[in-house]
Amino acid sequence: MGRRRRKVIRVVRRTLPKVFTCPNCGVSGVRVKLKGEHLALISCGNCRLTRDYEFTGRKEVIDIYNEFVDQFMAGKIKSDQ
Ligand SMILES: [Zn+2]
């Protein structure tokens, strides 16, 4: 087919910050910030939930967020204060 290929925009290493729904307060104010190769800072701008989250392997922020929510829901991560 003579259709033009859409330009694929690749996100290399640093993904742009996106806002996710907070598992604690339900507001979409959570940001995942990569601090290191296996460490991310997850913070909610609404309820001030802030957590360092260690992960293994190479993950996108969305994967890190999903894992974090799973663990949060499972009660493995508690909000202090
Ligand atoms: Zn929150």
pLDDT (0 to 100) of residue 51? 94
CA of 31 to the centre of ligand 1 (A): 10
What's the whole-number average pLDDT of the chain? Answer: 87
CATH number at residue 69: 2.20.25
Instruction: Tell me how far the alpha carbon of residue 73 lies from the centroid of ligand 1, in angstroms.
Output: 13
Res 81: pLDDT? 46
- State residue 11's pLDDT score: 60
> CB of 43 within 8 A of CB of 52?
no
- Given a cut of 50, the residues of the chain with pLDDT beneath it are 81
69 within some domain: yes
The reported pTM is 0.72
Task: Answer for the pair 30, 44: CB distance below 8 angstroms, yes or no.
Answer: yes
Residue 80 inside a domain? The answer is no
How many domains in the chain? Answer: 1
How many whole angstroms from 14 Cα to the centroid of ligand 1? Answer: 24
pLDDT of residue 77: 78
- Could you tell me the residue range of the domain that residue 33 belongs to? 23-73
Residue 40 lies in a domain: yes
Residue 4 and residue 56: Cα distance in Å, rounded? 38
